[in-house]
Amino acid sequence: EVQLVETGGGLIQPGGSLRLSCAASGFTVSSNYMSWVRQAPGKGLEWVSVIYSGGSTYYADSVKGRFTISRDNSKNTLYLQMNSLRAEDTAVYYCAREDPSVYGAFDIWGQGTMVTVSS
C-alpha cells in the first residue's frame, strides 16, 4: 500500500527546534518530488518546502533560513528540520508526494502531525 506517515510533532517553546519525519511505504521517496504542506488551526493550506528527486530544495519565504528539508534514502523517509520556531509556525504539517505521472499534483498525503509553538 502506498502511504505516508508523519511523526515528530509536539509542543515546543518559541525559538526551539523540532524535526518532523515522514516515512513512506509502497514507493521510493528519493525517486519522487516530496513536499511539506502546513495548515494553521482553522486556516487554509500553505506549501512549505519541496525536495526534488535530483536533490534540489525550495522553501516558502515564511520559513526560508529556518527550515531544512532532507531525506534518508536508506530509511525511505523525508524530514523537515524546523529551527527558530515561532508562534505562527503552529500548524498541522503534512508531507505529500507529487504524482510522478502528473507534475505538480499532490496525490499522496500523510495524516499530518501537529506542531504547537507556545510558551
Partner 1 sequence: DIQMTQSPSSLSASVGDRVTITCQASQDISNYLNWYQQKPGKAPKLLIYDASNLETGVPSRFSGSGSGTDFTFTISSLQPEDIATYYCQQYDNLYTFGQGTKLEIK
* Least CB distance to partner 1 at residue 21 (A): 16
Rounded to whole angstroms, the Cα distance separating 9 from 68 reads 16
Binding to partner 1 in span 40-79, by CB under 8 A: 44-47, 50, 58, 60-61
Query: By CB under 8 A, is residue 23 in contact with partner 1?
Result: no
**Is residue 89 classed exposed, middle or buried when 0-12, 13-18 and 19+ CB atoms within 10 A define those classes?**
buried
CB count within 10 Å of CB 74 equals 7
Using the rule CB under 8 A, is 113 a contact of partner 1? Answer: no
Interface positions with partner 1 (CB under 8 A): 35, 37, 44-47, 50, 58, 60-61, 94, 96, 99, 102-107, 109-112
